[in-house]
Amino acid sequence: MSELIFVTTENCELCYKAEKKIGILKLFFSVKTVDVQSEYKEYLLRVPVLIKNEKILDEGVFSRLSILKNLFF
């Protein structure tokens, strides 16, 4: 099973909304949630960020279409 990395932070409304949008992906991928303060500090001003194999699938306001497009193309 492939792993997705969901970079988030505390008290982030965009992060909560993004987490809901990627919920369905948890059926097909292992989703590892990491806090931007502990890892991936380069994304500090870009959270939330979804990463697969060092490729950013989406960031900021997530779009399911954008995520799916970036997953498969």
| Residue 51 structure tokens | 């990463």
pTM: 0.94
Q: What is the β-pairing status of strands 30-35 and 55-59?
A: unpaired
| Residue 49 · residue 43 · CB < 8 Å | yes
Residue numbers of the domain that contains 12: 3-72
| Residue 19 structure tokens | 């987490």
Residues 33-73 pLDDT 10s: 999 999 999 999 999 999 999 999 999 999 999 999 999 88
Banded model confidence at residue 25, pLDDT cuts 50, 70, 90:
very high
When divided into structural domains, the chain yields a total of: 1
Q: Assign residue 44 the CATH number of its domain.
A: 3.40.30.10
